[in-house]
Amino acid sequence: MLHKEIWRFRASVIPGLTISIALLSFAVLLFSLLYNFSDAAPISIIDDRIMGLVKFTLYQASISTVLSVSAGTVLAWSLTHQANFKGRSLLIALFSSSLVLPTLIVAFGMITILGNNGWLNRLSLYLFDYSFGGWLYGLAGILIAHVYLNASFASRGLLHSFESIPKEKYRLAKSLNFSAWQRFWLVEWVAIRVTIVSMAATIFLLCFTSFAIVLLLGGSPSNNTLEVAIYEAIKIDFDIPFALKLALIQLSISIMLVLLSSSFRVGSGNLKTSNSLITWREPKNRGLLQRAIIALSTIIFILPLIAIVADGIQADFIRIVTNPLFIRSLSISLAIATVSACLTVLFALLLSDARRNFILPFKISDSKFSKTLELMIAFSGNLYLAIPSLILGFGFFLISQRFEAPMIIWAMIAVLTANVLMSLPFALSIIYPAMQKTAYRYDKLTLSLGLSTLVRWRYCEIPYLRSSISYIFALSFALSLGDLGVIALFGSDEITTLPWYLYQLMGSYRNSDAAGVALILLVLVLGLFVIIPRIFAKGENAQYRKSDIQL
């Protein structure tokens, strides 16, 4: 009797199940809205221009994924076998930060180094009187930026898989005198291939729906993706029927790709790595190669960040921070990021709490319907992979055209919704395994003692989940603070965020001010991403000390 068991655990199941149904209903409503508006542009009529956009979007996502996963695998392999150098943990934490780096900042750093007036071009002109031209603006620039972001993200997830390999297997491989290739193929590949497939699926979807990078580095309409073409059709041409057709095509392809993916998990990992190290040194030549790979990857990763700092510190910060538009942009960005982070934490906790009830054998019975509900909850938390933020924003844009209300209200609702959906897959991948462990550890005890839901959360859940919650909050806050997606459709002087303000400065060629704002945004994102979990950790330590004194 499934309904009786659900009612028995209603305090744990119903809130999360309600959120899941609401999210899925919203997805259906969005698709219906786009479909109903598309009478003037039937999706069945697909011309050469649309086919070109689809082909290029799939092509650049495929190449970006192959390059990112390949580079990430090589870097993770090198870090695994070079585990004793100083600063390794700091370096891994730096690579982990790629997850929250705003794509607009990455593109700005790439332009600073490789653009027409970039460092490389100026050095070449000075030394050889030769200019590389605008090669960055096109497929090459898109691939470089995608690999920059996604290779470090992939390496962090793959490093965890490498380090989970039992060291006994490495000892056996060494005793059998395996070559580097034999060890990788027979020992390491077996352990990492599942993670590689999951990472590749996630990276492909992220590159398929990439917006800011293609918008800034695409260079011409021939390098446009579906997402950028939708934006241009709305903001530049105001060709709503064409935008609707593109939106339906992209939404259909995205949903199909998600359904074909073998995993919805996004392996973001934690900042700490395993302490179980390989106890022997690599041969000299192989060790040199691994250290060279680590050094080159580090230089490539930090160079755009150094460029942003070097250009940004020359800006007139007094004039920037006293500009009313900057103050408004910063205030709105911080407010939206705070609300988005709070909602993401709440939704992640409730969805994970509901989902684990359908997994535990001593709770809701193991039936086909319970498995369906568990999969439904899991899918609803990963809607962002199927519904890109710009498509979601387009849906709210259409609603704003039909229902009269201040545009700022629709803009805030759209941005908040997009930010929460964007952060949820990462939040769930972190919090759900931890909540599953607490359930296995404490559920039988709390059920036997008859503890209420609030008491259970206070004494069993929160102390164990505090660090994960703080990390999720910081991650969601940073992702929201640096996002340039939905706001690109609604942005104006009245409705603005810090990324949108930076994009306007870049578009008007106010490079000095843009460099200063980029530096401020970079410091805010990375600083808060590091500081917020530490604030939670200090609060936790203080609480424990207070408890000890009371005892």
**Residue 302 included in any domain:** yes
**Residue 70 included in any domain:** yes
446: pLDDT strictly greater than 70 = no
Look at the alpha carbons of 462, 463, 468, 472 in this order and tell me if their dihedral is positive or negative: positive
391's tokens: 């498509």
Helices 10-37 and 324-357 cross at an angle (nearest 10°) of 120
Task: Give pLDDT tens digits for 65-91.
Answer: 999 999 999 999 888 888 777 888 888
Do 132 and 124 contact (CB within 8 A), yes or no?
A: yes
Of the candidates 135, 145, 262, 130, the residue with the CA atom closest to the CA atom of residue 201 = 262
Do 431 and 350 contact (CB within 8 A), yes or no?
A: no
Mean pLDDT (whole number) for 506-511: 80
Of the candidates 165, 251, 213, 199, the residue with the CA atom closest to the CA atom of residue 73 = 199
60: pLDDT strictly greater than 90 = yes
When pLDDT is cut at 50, 70 and 90, the band that residue 274 belongs to is very low
382: pLDDT strictly greater than 90 = no
**Residue 30 included in any domain:** no
Of the candidates 366, 345, 394, 328, the residue with the CA atom closest to the CA atom of residue 533 = 345
When pLDDT is cut at 50, 70 and 90, the band that residue 362 belongs to is low
Contacts of 350 (CB under 8 A, 6+ apart): 15, 16, 19
**Residue 343 included in any domain:** no
- Total tally of structural domains belonging to the chain: 1
Rounded to whole angstroms, the Cα distance separating 469 from 415 reads 22
Q: Which residue has the higher pLDDT, 200 or 403?
A: 200
Mean pLDDT (whole number) for 45-52: 78
Q: Which residue range is the domain that position 79 belongs to?
A: 51-308
**Residue 193 included in any domain:** yes
Task: Give pLDDT tens digits for 106-124.
Answer: 888 888 898 888 888 888 8
Mean pLDDT (whole number) for 424-449: 76
Mean pLDDT (whole number) for 480-487: 84
What's the confidence (pLDDT) of residue 238? 78
Mean pLDDT (whole number) for 511-524: 89
What's the confidence (pLDDT) of residue 463? 77
Rounded to whole angstroms, the Cα distance separating 464 from 335 reads 28
**Residue 165 included in any domain:** yes
- By CB atoms closer than 10 A (0-12, 13-18, 19+), residue 271 is middle
Of the candidates 360, 64, 101, 76, the residue with the CA atom closest to the CA atom of residue 192 = 76
Mean pLDDT (whole number) for 411-417: 87
Rounded to whole angstroms, the Cα distance separating 524 from 339 reads 17
Contacts of 536 (CB under 8 A, 6+ apart): 466, 467, 469, 470, 473
Q: Which residue has the higher pLDDT, 219 or 79?
A: 79
**Residue 9 included in any domain:** no
Q: Which residue has the higher pLDDT, 4 or 246?
A: 246
What's the confidence (pLDDT) of residue 435? 78
Comparing 6-10, 178-182, 312-316, the range with the smallest average pLDDT is: 6-10
- The CATH number given to whatever domain includes residue 242 is 1.10.3720.10
Query: From the centroid of its chain, how far is CA 269?
Result: 12
**In the Cβ-directed half-sphere of 531, how many Cα atoms lie within 13 Å?**
8
546: pLDDT strictly greater than 50 = no
Do 523 and 251 contact (CB within 8 A), yes or no?
A: no
Give residue for tokens 């590689």: 196
When pLDDT is cut at 50, 70 and 90, the band that residue 549 belongs to is very low
What's the confidence (pLDDT) of residue 314? 87
What's the confidence (pLDDT) of residue 39? 58
CA distances from 31 to 36, 254, 376 (A): 9, 12, 18
**Residue 231 included in any domain:** yes
Angle at 89 between CA 85 and CA 92, to 5 degrees: 110
